[in-house]
Structure 1
């Protein structure tokens, strides 16, 4: 493979994107879980909001995994691999709605930190497609975290 990125840089970027994929998939599962199990006075609002969010995350995992494959590396795809790679904590039981929101804010912020941590190697390798993917993901996760945080204010 000769796409203008060294094998070492491709491996390092793929490793970072694997962490991003694991975080995204774990956040997808958590959001879907909360969609199913939310209760309380905000039920309808949160149920629909969480559905929009998990659908967006579901599409995102494919984009990240395909970028890893484009760089010539296998994408992680099992619960075991994701559990080793993710920085997002699993939910304990079924928390109340406000705690669900807090955990999802934390999850989106974690994905942001993971994505940001990759820019040095991506920039050094002149890997614009990965930089573009990271920028797009950051826009989604930062906006989603802001919207969720807004529900906790007041």
Structure 2
């Protein structure tokens, strides 16, 4: 039977993942609002679709934290303190740099999700384990779309 330390590690890793999702959501929305250039329409729409997908998962992840008996993030400061994905508050940025940044962030997110899955395995939380597979697939798809845009 998993111990308290495994459960605490899972809660901590999920809060880190939640912070990364919020950070990537805001970064993606920033790029959505400020993208310009010949691919404006396509990128504007893709960024908005990806942002919506990211935001939709924040509540699911937060509820997994609560179902595991933990407290979740409480505000912007908590998000900033836990996120491993770097914020980008620039409004003037080349469109392809935006695409590269988001691609790299989604690739990094996959690694974080896999760490959460490992923590879930250690804690005996098969529900989070299964969800992590879906989250990985979604992040890999976002990274793929962004990569193909750079080709």
Q: TM-score, normalised by structure 1?
A: 0.92
Q: Which runs of 5+ in 1 are unaligned?
A: none
Match of 1:64 among 44, 55, 61: 61
Please list, as runs of the form range in 1=range in 2, the aligned pairs for 1:67-82 lying within 5 A after superposition. Answer: 67-82=64-79
**What is the aligned partner in structure 1 of residue 42 from structure 2?**
45
Match of 2:105 among 107, 110, 125: 107
Distance 1:108 1:89, change over 3 A: same
What displacement does 1:121 show?
2.6
1:14 aligns with 2:6: no
Whole-angstrom distance in 1 between the partners of 2:87 and 2:48:
18
Whole-angstrom distance in 2 between the partners of 1:100 and 1:31:
9
What displacement does 1:5 show?
5.0
Q: Which runs of 5+ in 2 are unaligned?
A: none
Whole-angstrom distance in 2 between the partners of 1:59 and 1:120:
23
CA RMSD in angstroms comes to 1.3
Q: TM-score, normalised by structure 2?
A: 0.94
**What is the aligned partner in structure 2 of residue 32 from structure 1?**
29
Whole-angstrom distance in 1 between the partners of 2:36 and 2:117:
39
What displacement does 1:10 show?
1.7
Whole-angstrom distance in 2 between the partners of 1:40 and 1:99:
12
Whole-angstrom distance in 1 between the partners of 2:74 and 2:132:
20
Whole-angstrom distance in 2 between the partners of 1:126 and 1:12:
12
